[in-house]
Structure 1
Amino acid sequence: MNAFQLPVVNPPLKGFLRWAYTLSITSIHEETMPWFYSNFIQLFCKKNFLEDGRQYYFDFFRGKPNELNFNNPFLLTCSVNYTILESLALDAWPKFIADQIRNGYYCVVFLDEARLSPAASYQKEPFPHHLFLYGYDWDERVFNASMFDRTGVYRNLQIPFREFQDAVQSMRHLLKEKLTADHHTYFYKYEPHSPYPFDKTAAIDQLRDYLNGETHLNRINYNSDNEEAFGIKVYDYLRLYFDAAEGNDSRLGDRNDVRHLHVLWEHKKMMSERIGYLVDEGIIPYDDELVAGYKDITKRAMKLRDQYIRHELREDHEMFDRLRLRFDEFQNEEPALLQKLITLLDA
């Protein structure tokens, strides 16, 4: 066959590509849902972003290593770097990638996204990034890919072989000149797991960590460096970040204000959907206060993100007061709801 695509689904989380790429593979399989809802409870963020001038990050936390690095039980993972691929001629890359896809491997290729025409960075400064490839059409000489386009929308699109090769060649140059580090290329094959029922213990542990502002996830793999805040404490640093953003603090690194609010909304949406799943599966009884409480928080979080998007187009002088108000509300309301969820799970 001259054209072939592996199955993908619109991923439930898109704030960062490591979630979008891996979950677009696994979420199409119903057997992964108990694992999915047993996870994605904890949040973390960087604490000392004003002191060191590096970019503030705010995201889900599933322990370490990074999600692309062998951290999903349903994905058989292979990782290679440009040194290993050095002998692969540039003209051979399309067939090499197509062969992997044909063999059932989704490809996440590290390249210079500034050479890809759908990207926001197209024809600008080099932008080392991972690109997700799940299919190809040899006659049309294109790959089927998923990425954020120039408008910031995550979608499926086609990348011409020629652009793909330009992006690989540019990355080779960047690495040769030591202008960036090699973040590796990954190949994922979906591997059905042995039965994975919803893990009450894991969920309760994460919920308690969230409430206590700490983490014990995968602690055997890393040492805590006290540079990150967890759970309920992230609100303190979201306030700090947006206070600095309001004042255009020069100490802020690369800013991505909307993404932080999008991740916040995704977390509340995830919590609300998890509660619905637990009720539907008969794992916990229906509780109106719990269901309605998280639906309301989710609605306010989504509205907050959307208001900020409009604020970036046309300044809203009340925006930052509204942010502080919502952060306070969420930080004050969540503990009672999460404690109720723990009690129901522990019954």
Structure 2
Amino acid sequence: MNSKILPMKYPIITSWQWQANLFSILSNYPETQPWIYSNYIQLHMIRDESHDKTFVDFYQYPILEVCPWIYNQHLKRETILLFKKDICEFFIECIDLNNYIYGVFEQSYFGRSEFFPHDTFIYGYNKEKKVFYIADFSIKEKYSYTEVSFSQIEKAYLAIEEKDDWLLDKGGLQLLSFNAKGIFDFKPSLVIEFLEEFLQSKNSFEKSSFYINKPNKSVFGLEVYRKIKEDLINKNTDFRHIHVIYDHKVLMLHRIEYMQTHGYLNQAEVIYKLYKQLEQKTLSARNLLLKAIITQNDKQMDQIIRLLGEIESIEKEAMNLMLYNIKQCKIY
């Protein structure tokens, strides 16, 4: 086989590499929608006090391990060397077996000027052109698809030392493939549970027996908005926080449409309208923050903080309305 490209569809959320990679796969398969729309409701923020930074994401970690539609093989680097000394040949054989490849690679070999280990997703190859097809954030500063040579991939892989290989806190590589045998029915009861935990700012990890090391210094749900505002007041500006909030609204809109279509939600039009308003306000807040970071405009920062307060208030109203109308359907 001279070339192979595994199915990829541009994801509806692009907050983080691991989320975008997963959605690039799942978006090709409509049967995965019940799982997607039963999840991705709760938000959490982790504070890394050693670096004085915060990190916002959807609750569902470790996402690749729990998704029923993904077959996940996590390999140590030393294990890979037992299989093949030629890493490019190993990658090609993995792709021939319908495996996407996820790992940390040294981005300076992909055109960046500085040393920059970053997670990269390989989804195809072409032997005649001697290139791999990859998805990454760092090359074009947004989630995008491009191609890099066999030589670049080899050098970028071999340049990563153990201390730089932070993939999911384990290092190594993940081989991901679509599990056509996956089964998951939409669970309104799970949606209700996550909505209630969001509104109560409840720690959703407490019920997760699969997650042994629960993150310390975490906040959840509505409390995430308050902590983001505190960060902005303290000049800790990370636009990715609000980008996650924006992706959350995008997914909520898709979820509302799905639930309306399948009879799980009353008053869907009213709730959709509220979330459309939230999506627009969050997009405005994200774009204002990007502008404020560049211009150092404090007045814009005040406007962003006010917008986040409005978003928190409207979301509280919208979620309570959604909860009531799911329960009214009595299909859970």
What is the TM-score normalised by the length of structure 1?
Answer: 0.87
Q: Deviations over 1:11-40 (max 9, x none)?
A: 121111111111111111010011111110
SS of corresponding position for 1:220: coil
Percent identity of paired positions between Structure 1 and Structure 2: 21
Q: Counterparts in 2 of 1:1-347, with a 5 A limit?
A: 1-47=1-47, 49=48, 51-62=49-60, 64=61, 66-68=62-64, 70-87=65-82, 92-117=86-111, 122-125=112-115, 127-171=116-160, 174-175=161-162, 178=163, 181=166, 183-217=171-205, 218-221=207-210, 222=212, 224=214, 226-245=216-235, 257-347=238-328
- Contact kept in structure 2, 1:34 and 1:199, CA below 8 Å: yes
Q: Deviations over 1:89-113 (max 9, x none)?
A: 65x1111111111111111133222
Distance 2:224 2:41 in 1: 13
Instruction: Extract unaligned runs of 5+ from structure 2.
Output: none
Instruction: Extract unaligned runs of 5+ from structure 1.
Output: 246-251
Distance 1:94 1:53 in 2: 36
Structure 2 partner of 1:249: none
Distance 1:333 1:316, change over 3 A: same
Q: Deviations over 1:170-192 (max 9, x none)?
A: 11xx22xx465552200111112
Distance 2:147 2:135 in 1: 8
- Contact kept in structure 1, 2:201 and 2:221, CA below 8 Å: yes
Distance 1:52 1:136 in 2: 40
Distance 1:5 1:87 in 2: 26
Distance 1:302 1:29 in 2: 28
SS of corresponding position for 1:333: helix
Distance 1:108 1:166 in 2: 16
Distance 2:4 2:177 in 1: 15
SS of corresponding position for 2:209: helix
SS of corresponding position for 2:253: helix
Q: Deviations over 1:222-268 (max 9, x none)?
A: 364551000111112101111122xxxxxx6xx6x221121111111
Distance 2:50 2:209 in 1: 27
SS of corresponding position for 1:21: helix
Write the letter of the residue equivalent to 1:241. Answer: D
Distance 1:179 1:313, change over 3 A: closer
- Contact kept in structure 2, 1:93 and 1:165, CA below 8 Å: yes
Write the letter of the residue equivalent to 2:128. Answer: D
1:287 Cα deviation after fit: 3.9
SS of corresponding position for 1:159: strand
SS of corresponding position for 2:77: coil
Q: Deviations over 1:47-101 (max 9, x none)?
A: 4x4x533431011111x4x224x221101110101121234665x1111111111
Distance 1:316 1:237 in 2: 21
- Contact kept in structure 2, 1:293 and 1:337, CA below 8 Å: yes
SS of corresponding position for 1:136: strand
- Contact kept in structure 2, 1:206 and 1:215, CA below 8 Å: no
Distance 2:104 2:124 in 1: 17
Distance 1:281 1:58 in 2: 31
Q: Deviations over 1:150-196 (max 9, x none)?
A: 4412111101111101111111xx22xx4655522001111124542
| Number of residue-to-residue matches in the alignment | 323
Distance 1:115 1:128 in 2: 10
SS of corresponding position for 1:188: strand
SS of corresponding position for 1:197: coil
Distance 1:85 1:55 in 2: 34
Distance 2:215 2:33 in 1: 32
What is the TM-score normalised by the length of structure 2?
Answer: 0.90
1:207 Cα deviation after fit: 0.6
